[in-house]
Structures are given as structure tokens and as C-alpha cells.
Amino acid sequence: MKRRMTILLAAALLLAAAASLAAILRPAPETDRPVARITLDGELIREIDLSRITAPETFVVTAADGGSNTIAVEPGRIRVSAADCPDQICVSQGFISDGTVPIVCLPHKLMISISGGGSDLDGAAG
Amino acid sequence: MRRRLLSLALCAGLLLGLLSGCSCGLVDADTQVFAMDTVMQLQVSASGKAAAQGALDGAVAQLNDLDKTLSVSGTDSDVQRLNAAEGTWVTLSETGADLLKQALELCALTDGALDITAYPAMEAWGFPTGTYRVPDETELAALAANIDYTRVELDEENGRARLPEGMGLDLGAVGKGYAGDRLAENLRAHGVSYALLNLGQSTIMAIGSKADGTPWRIGVQDPAGEDYLGVLELTNQAVGTSAGNQRYFEQDGVRYWHILDPATAAPARSGLASVTVVADSGLLCDGLSTALFVMGADRALEFWHDHPELNIQLVLVADDGSVSITPGLRDRFTIRDPERGVTVLQ
């Protein structure tokens, strides 16, 4: 009886160990490709895998108040190339290519941030 | 023999449990808030979804309250009422009085390199509205003469303040850092041990480490490029960056940025392109990064030497792209491009 309990317990522990091992060895989610997330007032409107861009392209996003930003995408990087906001901060920021600092157009509540790209950052200053 | 096997299995199980990052039961939640003229991103880990979401909701409400009190553009904020009072006394909220006190102390500590009364100059350059222009020298001299934090009167006992007519106050250089301190205080009091508060592009506050026990990895932007300069490891501290490329306009080939030298009312050209400050307090990081940017490398280093009690660490990037750090960051700052040297300041 006692022996059976011991075997059971050992088996349970081994199973737990194997499960943990599987959890550790499970392939990590793919974070090495830079993906740009474009949000308007917090709502995701488009996600672009920047590593899959082969030719430059531009498109326009329109905010709730009617303001618009022209977004230019090139292989590995993204920028706001034109906007009708008063301060033009989003345009003057230029291209971003990693997760450092997002592009923000405050008047239009637009944000472009990049995740992945191998830098594995939790936040950015600057 | 059997017992040995058993204990072996037990050890293996425990070890693997530990290795798999026993953030057991912790749930992450994050949100984005538009406040204080910037976009903020808050993320917390807490035991259970309800706790995490509750902590976030509390933080967002607190942030919106702070914004209402401190905003320079908001109607009926403490700052707006002070600026409109034409030299009369204005009763402040408890928060407003507390921040004003701390801000004035920081102005004094930096000998006016940080000055919260530069708002009329900011307006003259068009930074708050985006209608940019370059004021001429006569105008700048007049503006500079009216930048003087020592003329702000704070009556702590009665919770009121007074600003001479013609002067204007802006707590933007310290407000985000102050908000970070207050939010962190509140979250910690509610038992949150892991959180990252990104209070806009310049100020970040970490509560604890990441839930797996490793430090938060914060990218410091290269002021001259589109990449990050390096990675800063942050645990239970704040970081603030001031840089000339954060907000600027160009006219006739000259770049004019939003960090003004209180002595000249014009963009501070001190030879530094960016200053990053790591400290326990968000307010300190926020205010000092601006002040040290204005001071330039030599005076910044002198300030760092003179104030060991502040326990601050610095990353300085000069206009020529050279990078220097204080010794406390030697093991916590990793430059992205190893070819680019880092000088450790002494």
C-alpha cells in the first residue's frame, strides 16, 4: 500500500516535471519580426509586418474628427509623411524602425508603435 | 533507494516549476490613455484579472484627475486659474499645491536651469499651438526678463499661490513625472508589485521588476537616428529623457526645439542632444532631464557630483553623437551598436 502511494506520488511529480519542461521548451511566440500597430484613440486599425514590405507604399488614415495622416511604409520602417494636424510633430519625427519610441499624433489620437524586431523592449524613453 | 528517487523527482519538479517563471496566478492588463498632452501606456500584473483591471481603472481615473488639476490648457485647472489671475492670490487644490512646492524646489536646486515660468516664451515660439515662429532678439530679451520662478509666491499654510501679472506658469516639465510618482504610490498601496507606467515619450516609471523577476528593458532613443541608442535595465525606478528631437520645427534650415533656456528664452543649445536621468522619483527624472539638457555636459556632471544625495544616474548624448554614462549604469545600460563607444564619467 505504502509502496503504491510512493510510486503514484513519484509518477505525479515526474508528470509535473515533464509538463514544466514542455512549457519551457515550447517555442516562444515570434517576436523577431517588426510589426507596426496603428491605433486611433486606442483602437487598432491596422497591423503591418514591416519585414514583409517589399516596395514603398502610402495610405491615409482618418481620425474621428475628420483629421487625416498619410502613412508611408518602406521595408522595415514606417513614418507619417503628411498630416493636417497643426503641430506636425508626427511628421517631423520621421521614420521609426524599432520599438523605441512610437509615433504619436495627439490632435488625431493616432499612434504607431512597433513590436518585435528582436529588440525585446518593454518601453522607451526619448 | 526509493526514497532517493522520490526526493530526486521532487527536486526536479520544484526546480522546473521555478524555472518556468513562477509568475503563477499573475495576470497582465494594459491600457492607453490620452492625457497631459501625450499618450500614456500603463501595464500592471496583479493576482487575477479583476485585480489587474481594477488597478488599471484606478490609475486611469487618478491620471484624469491630475490632468484636470495641472493642465495648462484645461479650463479651470489650477495652472490655468493661476495664469489668468492677473497677480491675485489663487486657492490651489491639494495636488496643485504639492506639485508647485516640489517644482519650485527643483527650480531652486538646479539654480533656475529648470524654470516653470517659461510658458509665455513657449507661447511666443508657438509650441503649445503649433503655430511656430522665431521671435526676434528684442522680444526674446523681454520674454527672458519675465522668466523667474523666484517670483512665484506659494503660501503653503493657506494652500494658495500668486504669480506676478504678465508671467505664466507651466508644470509640463514636471507634471508627467509627478503623475508617475502619485500613480506608483497608489498602485503600491493597492498591492501591485509589478507595473510599468509609460507616461508619454519622456517619462517611464517602473514598479518592481517584470513579473518573472527580470528588470524592465527600456530603449533610450538615439536623438540623431530612428533607432534606439541602447537599452536601460530598470527595476523599481523611474527614467526621464529630454531631447532636442522630441518636439521641434525648422525654419531657414535651423532647427528650433521646445526645450528653452530660461536665461535666453530661446532653445537651449548646450552641446547636448539628449539627457536621460534614472532616479527613484519620476518628478526628479522629468525635471532634471530638462534642467541638465539646459546646463550642458560640464555643468550636468558638476551637478551630479554635487548631489550624491539624489542618487541619480545619467546617460548623456552630445551633439556629435558621443555617449557618456555615470558609473552606476555600467551594468544596466547596453549600447546597441558596440562599435559606438560609451564613456563612463568619473
Q: How many CB atoms lie within 10 A of CB B269?
A: 16
Which member of B217, B226, B232 has the closest CB to residue A77? B226
In single-letter form, the type of residue at position B27 comes to: V
Stretch 243-282 of chain B: residues touching chain A, C-beta under 8 Å: 243, 245-250, 274, 276
> Residues 277..336 of B with a Cβ closer than 8 Å to A: which?
336
CA torsion sign for A111, A112, A115, A121 is: negative
Distance from CA of B286 to the nearest CA of A (A): 11
Partner-chain residue, chosen from B17, B196, B228, that has the shortest CB–CB distance to A122? B196
Give pLDDT, residue B285: 98
Q: From A124, which residue of chain B is nearest by alpha-carbon distance?
A: B219
pLDDT digits (tens, 9 = 90+) for B82-100: 999 999 999 999 999 999 9
Mean pLDDT of A63-69: 92
Cα separation, B112 vs B135, in Å, equals 22
Average pLDDT over all residues of chain A: 83
Mean pLDDT of B312-316: 98
Question: What's the pTM value of the predicted model, to 2 decimals?
Answer: 0.84
pLDDT at position B7: 64
CA distances (Å), B186 to each of A98, B59, B67, B116, B152, in order? 32, 8, 16, 26, 29
Q: Do B221 and A124 touch (CB under 8 A)?
A: yes
CA neighbor of B72 nearest in space, from B99, B42, B41, B33:
B99
pLDDT for the residue numbered A28: 45
Q: Which residues of A touch B38 (CB under 8 A)?
A: 104, 106
Q: What is the pLDDT of residue A11?
A: 76
Report how far residue B336's alpha carbon sits from residue A46's, in angstroms, rounded to the nearest whole number. 29
Q: Please, what is the end-to-end C-alpha distance for chain B in angstroms?
A: 59
Q: Is B337 on the interface with A (CB under 8 A)?
A: no
Report how far residue A121's alpha carbon sits from residue B289's, in angstroms, rounded to the nearest whole number. 22
- pLDDT for A31 equals 56
- Nearest-neighbour CA in chain B from A53: distance (Å): 18
CA B296 to chain CA centroid, Å, is: 18
Q: How far is B22 from chain A (nearest CA, A)?
A: 10
CB contact under 8 A, A14 and B201: no
Closest CA to B104 of B93, B115, B94: B115
Which among B202, B231, B245 has CB closest to A121? B231
What mean pLDDT is predicted for residues B288-296?
Answer: 98
Q: How far is B144 from chain A (nearest CA, A)?
A: 24
Closest-CA residue of B relative to A10 is B6
Place B15 in a pLDDT band, splitting at 50, 70 and 90: low
Task: Name every residue whose Cβ is closer than 8 Å to that of residue B227 and which is 6 or more positions away in sequence.
Answer: A97, A98, A100, B336
Question: Cα dist. B296→B250, B273, B305 in Å?
Answer: 22, 9, 14
Q: Point out the least confidently predicted range of B8-17, B155-164, B217-226.
A: B8-17
**Quick one: pLDDT at residue B306?**
97
Structure confidence by residue, pLDDT tens digits, B153-177:
999 999 999 999 999 999 989 999 9
Q: Cβ contacts (< 8 Å) between B243 and chain A: which residues?
A: 126
> Which residues from A are below 8 Å from B241, CB to CB?
125-126
Q: Find the range with the poorest average confidence among A8-17, B103-112, B221-230.
A: A8-17
Which of A107-111, B37-41, B193-197 is the least confident region?
A: B37-41
Residues B228, A21: C-beta atoms closer than 8 Å = no
pLDDT of residue B245: 85
Nearest to B79 by CA among B63, B96, B95: B96
Q: Residue B2 and residue A121: Cβ atoms within 8 Å?
A: no
Which residues in chain B are contacts of A101 at CB distance < 8 A? Answer: 201, 219, 221
| Closest chain B residue to the Cα of A90, Cα to Cα | B247
Measure Cα distances from A2 to A6, A7, B8, B81 in Å: 6, 9, 18, 79
Looking at residue B19, its pLDDT comes to 47
User: How far is the alpha carbon of A99 from chain B, nearest alpha carbon, in Å?
Assistant: 8
CA-atom Rg of chain A in angstroms? 23
Distances (CA, A) of A5 to A13, A15, B5: 12, 15, 14
Specify burial of residue A65 (Cβ count, 10 A radius: 0-12, 13-18, 19+). Answer: exposed
B34 touches chain A (CB under 8 A): yes
Instruction: Measure the CA angle with vertex A80, ends A76 and A86; round to 5°.
Output: 165
Separation in Å, CA of B269 to nearest CA in chain A: 18
- What tens digit of pLDDT does each residue of A5-60 get? 777 777 777 777 776 666 555 544 455 788 999 999 888 999 999 999 999 999 99
CB < 8 Å to A123, chain B = 41, 196, 198, 204, 216-219
Question: Which of A7-11, A57-61, B66-70, B72-76 has maximum average pLDDT?
Answer: A57-61
pLDDT at B113 over 90: yes
Residues of chain A contacting B198 with CB distance shorter than 8 Å: 123-124
Flag whether pLDDT at B16 surpasses 70.
no
How far is A37 from B112, CA to CA, in rounded Å? 41
Mean predicted confidence (pLDDT) in B244-258: 92
How close is the nearest chain A Cα to the Cα of B127, in Å?
8
pLDDT above 80: residue B338 = yes
The whole-number pLDDT of residue B21 equals 45
CA separation (Å) from B130 to A21, A87, A123, B126, B268? 56, 4, 27, 5, 19
